[in-house]
Chains A and B, each alone.
Chain A
């Protein structure tokens, strides 16, 4: 069993997930939408919000599925199939729910919701929660903090990328190539936090 976690442990978990082991720049999860939606600030904020929403929910639900369905039935080896189906169903459900009950939010998140099913960060965080042996509260905190870290890095990167539009870049480096170099520099700056949290 776990020893009880104090408040400062949770604080370290949050800081760790946002800055030190940033899911996007250090763990390399969710890079395709990262490069795809970072051309304009509006799409980046839309994606960031959708990720925060879905990742927190799916982290908690996949944890419950693991604890109350897969482990009792000894089906842990089917984890991958179950988790991806749960996430796909959840995204579909969230989409329908928002469309009906919160049309304004639905408009804001727009096309980003369906795209999230194939955002590997969502499945990645769900798997990390299980592999790190988190309890329910830790899962909730870690999923939320990871999602915030994702949004944070995505919005920072978009800000830089909008500036890039105005600068003269060699022809062969345009587009994804310069985007990756920029991400490398951003990742380097996040790397400066390494050692802050173990």
Chain B
């Protein structure tokens, strides 16, 4: 089942941003809470899946020389849709994500999948690939956001975890904490996956 494989490889084997080290800016910036990570992940998943489908449909029509510009235009169109929908229905999330909503355009995962996968494969495989990588990215962001929120604010999705006497470790929700936390997670992932290979 090629399609199933295309879907599942994004969930673990190639999971962004750990295995594919792309899309770091939103990963670091919006994961001060699990909510932020989940919202950004789902928005990216939508854009990634739709752009993969459209790029795959147009793959025989786009001239090779201007392909990158075409991909960027496709991606930007879907980002505008996300922006407008978020402004209308998820305004607090839109304000929380700030400039990182328009910056989904330059998330290298999306352009990377368009160039490396969708431009060469049939629609169904591209859909599976986009959905898989998007959900993998969402998972990674939510976990990172949850870890930072639990230690940095003592809450998870806004609910208190440790009770009222917990003194939050504020470093985790500050910018340096993002780098350190992601670095440690990457190290942990390396240990886990090495154990599997051996």
Contact = CB atoms under 8 A, between A and B. Distances in A.
Interface of A: 25-32, 35, 77-81, 83-85, 88, 117-120, 123-124, 127-128, 131, 170-173, 176-181, 183-185, 187-188, 191
Contacts of A172: 187, 190-191, 194
Contact of A31 (B25, B80, B111, B186): B25
The DSSP consensus for interface residues of chain A is helix
21 contacts: A28-B26, A28-B175, A28-B178, A29-B25, A35-B24, A81-B76, A81-B77, A81-B80, A84-B72, A88-B68, A88-B72, A117-B68, A127-B102, A172-B187, A172-B194, A177-B184, A179-B183, A180-B182, A180-B186, A184-B176, A185-B176
B176 A32 contact: no
A114 B83 CA distance: 27
A183 B179 contact: yes
A180 B180 CA distance: 6
A79 B102 contact: yes
Given A81-B80, A172-B194, A177 B183 contact: yes
Nearest to A30: B25
Q: Which 7 A-B pairs have the closest CB atoms?
A: A180-B183, A184-B179, A184-B180, A28-B29, A172-B190, A181-B183, A31-B24
Contacts of B190: 171-173, 177
A183 B133 CA distance: 26
Given A81-B73, A81-B77, A184 B183 contact: yes
Contact of A88 (B21, B69, B178, B191): B69
A124 B103 contact: yes
A188 B176 contact: yes
A77 B28 CA distance: 26
Contacts of B29: 27-28
Q: Choose among A117, A119, A187 the residue with the greatest number of B CB atoms under 10 Å from its CB.
A: A187
